[in-house]
Structure 1
């Protein structure tokens, strides 16, 4: 839970920095060439780090099956802390891109390692996923909130270095912790089969186990998680900068709120950063609710319902925003809860459809789809916002969610027919 909260603290603090980088940097210099800083070009930079966050999940899952979760989680924490130290020292956007790549590589191993640990070490699995997801959402919400508060006092480079400290401290704890990583395996005989060994042992075994995964329902679940990742990254990467264009989100001079602040310093309170953090923070309720639902009803029905709701919410976002700040606050809370309900449900579904011995591999593929392929959402959103308009972006989001709904219906029908 601690590691999960920190992974998402860093992940979702990056969009806060994106809105600053758009204003601070004008060009990107690479090999003697210059590129203008736009939402599209920044989308490419951020996608590089987010993409590695997902691409590294597959090898991370393989290693988790072989060496266990505790070592990988410790390495993840140290790597993330080091990457944000590098980010704080970055003199330009090329160095920012390199720091984000280091963060992506370090963070990529967390989800296959952490989810494998829960699926094999916790007997009440759905509840375990619920608490784990809630911890992640505390990081998702509090990370950007703490970042925004620190930015009232420090520049973004200093804030990045301050954010590195918790991961380094948590890394020390992680490598010293001791626990039984397979405490739930004997208690859950339904998930143990002939392939419940210690993971893939060779390239041939990797391809054989991968083939076994993708000839079944896992292939449909993988496509659903890919859609989830595209939706998630597309809506969140530029949300703070998008919100800043809405009525009611004008910057407020800090001197008008706090006596003694020098007006000439030009420091402002940016409401969109706090709305963004609040939207993410209420996702704790969504994670918890989704996890509990997966213990009480077939997960296939839950996934279908959540993505159908996300389709409607994407189409309603801009019309509600035009109604004013108060309706948008209520809508944002509903959107935040729904956005994060899907995650614990599909995590439990994956555990139902995969053997214990390659659970890390299956979660590796899952987060390759969610955060690897899903990272393209940053490029999609940045390109649409640069060359089209927000209405086009939310229409694209609705299409992605509708596709996930259709795929979820396939799982529902499969369950109903017992195929």
Structure 2
């Protein structure tokens, strides 16, 4: 038998201790990498004030760094997905972590505002590899009966990274300044890259057997696949989620304050409840995703409830406790949707194309990340905060429509594909 880095040389001993042990190692490594990617994403916002003062620029100019990050990610995530399928997810993931390390160190240590912006553009390039490589590795190595849980742990790790980063970098900045906070984040990504190099033999070097695509019933590949109806529908689905979550996560506090006079402290607690319950909802959603093939139904129930939450927030002046409970329940349901979201993408992806497809549909997140702040910020400037929540509800309902009207995949099961790919 050849190296365990090739998933196709592992015996088909489904359910054995060896197989489960290998899956646990794979999930742990991918979860750590995804955690680090979200640390990089959330690194700048808590330090906006200190970084702005260091360069003597405006908030809009510092925000340009995040724009550069999202633009580069949006433009290059699909090509990165093609590279993952061609070069292999393990090499691309390790390279992304190392490139992210270099970008964060450059942002912290090199002088000049424009150097900082360019470094953030490079960080956006590093960010392009995570979703294509992560989902490609998980789809190639995890048994189909446990893939929903694997997706949920992957997503939970990202949520955890986003939640921990503000406290982490602020604590580091209090001791070593904002540059020190950046260097700690760089150290995390470098350590993770070394971990993948040392312990990454359990990860696949390739995500499909040579010729597997041709054997998959003549499935579309390349641009034909990405421009097919089911994949474009998922791109729209991801964009709608990004727009809805962008409105809730970024403008709930100021929006509720202007509409109902909700104290910032209460709105922040409610938002924290939404984010925290979303993270744990992801784990619940993974269990559900493994127990039902009807992922669109799970998404539909969650969307119906979260759109109701947004409408109530816009039109009903609730007591503090009611608002906190409402947003916490909404966050739980929002989290439960996420693994079913990933399973719907996986269901329309032929073997050997996970990198390019997940890279392409994940571009919807970047597009939403670019559009949402501009649209909702404009509405706040026009003193129309209620419109933000109504538009959020609209995007949630559009996501619901894209989910429930999707074409049911034919039963050439990924379970079979998975077995052949193990």
* Both structures adopt the same fold (TM-score exceeding 0.5): yes
Q: Secondary structure at the match of 1:228?
A: helix
CA distance in 2: counterparts of 1:277 and 1:337, whole angstroms: 12
Which of residues 386, 391, 395 is equivalent to 1:391?
Answer: 386
Partner of 1:314: 310
1:164-193 CA-to-partner distances (Å, cap 9, x unmatched) read 22111111111222115289979xxxxx76
Match of 2:184 among 125, 146, 162: 162
1:294 aligns with 2:289: yes
| Equivalent position SS for 1:357 | coil
Look up the match of 1:280.
275
The match for 2:196 among 174, 183, 206 is 174
**Matching of residue 347 in structure 1 with residue 369 in structure 2:** no
Give the C-alpha shift of residue 404 in structure 1: 1.1
How far has the Cα of 1:61 moved from its partner? 0.8
Per the alignment, residue 36 of structure 2 pairs with 6
CA distance in 1, matches of 2:176, 2:319: 31
TM-score, structure 2 length as denominator? 0.75
More deviation in 77-86 or 399-408?
77-86
Q: Kindly indicate whether the alpha-carbon contact (under 8 Å) linking 1:4 and 1:110 is maintained by their aligned counterparts in 2.
A: yes
Unaligned residue ranges in structure 1 (runs of 5+): 29-35, 187-191, 200-204, 251-270
Q: Distance in 1 between matches of 2:410 and 2:196?
A: 45
CA distance in 1, matches of 2:140, 2:55: 49
**Contact 2:309/2:327 (<8 A) preserved:** no
Tell me, yes or no, if the aligned pair for 1:226 and 1:373 is still in contact at 8 Å. Answer: yes
Equivalent runs, 1:13-32 vs 2, <5 Å? 13-18=43-48, 20=49, 24=53, 28=57
Confirm or deny that 1:233 pairs with 2:246: yes
TM-score, normalization: structure 1? 0.76
The aligned runs of 1:100-119 (5 Å cut-off) are 100-119=120-139
Indicate how the Cα distance of structure 1 residues 288 and 151 shifts in structure 2: closer, same or farther if over 3 A, else same.
Answer: same
Aligned runs of 1:162-311 on 2, under 5 Å? 162-176=184-198, 177-181=200-204, 194=214, 196=216, 209-237=222-250, 248-249=263-264, 279-297=274-292, 298-311=294-307
Q: Which moved further from structure 2: 174-183 or 397-406?
A: 174-183
Match of 2:403 in 1: 408
Aligned equivalent of 2:15? none
Rounded to whole Å, the distance in 2 between the matches of 1:416 and 1:110 is: 26
- Tell me which of 157, 167, 171 is aligned to 1:145: 167
Question: CA 1:112–1:230 in 2, change beyond 3 Å: closer, same or farther?
Answer: same
**CA distance 1:138–1:415, shift in 2 (3 Å):** same
- C-alpha distance in 2 between matches for 1:312 and 1:244: 19
My pick for the range that moved more, 349-358 or 290-299, is: 290-299
- C-alpha distance 340-348 of structure 1, shift in aligned 2 (>3 A): same
RMSD across aligned C-alpha pairs, in angstroms? Answer: 3.7
In structure 2, relative to structure 1, the CA distance for the partners of 1:194 and 1:179 (3 Å cut) is: same
Q: Distance in 2 between matches of 1:416 and 1:64?
A: 24
Query: 1:44 Cα deviation (Å)?
Result: 5.1
- 2:16 corresponds in structure 1 to none
The 3 A distance-change label for structure 1 pair 101 and 409 is same
Q: Name the CA shift for 1:22/1:169 in 2 (closer, same or farther; >3 Å).
A: closer
Deviations 1:323-348 (A, max 9, x none): 45444433343333333333321211
Q: Give the Cα separation in 2 of the matches to 1:184 and 1:74.
A: 15
Alignment partner of 2:363 out of 346, 368, 383: 368
CA contact under 8 A between 1:141 and 1:277: conserved in structure 2? no
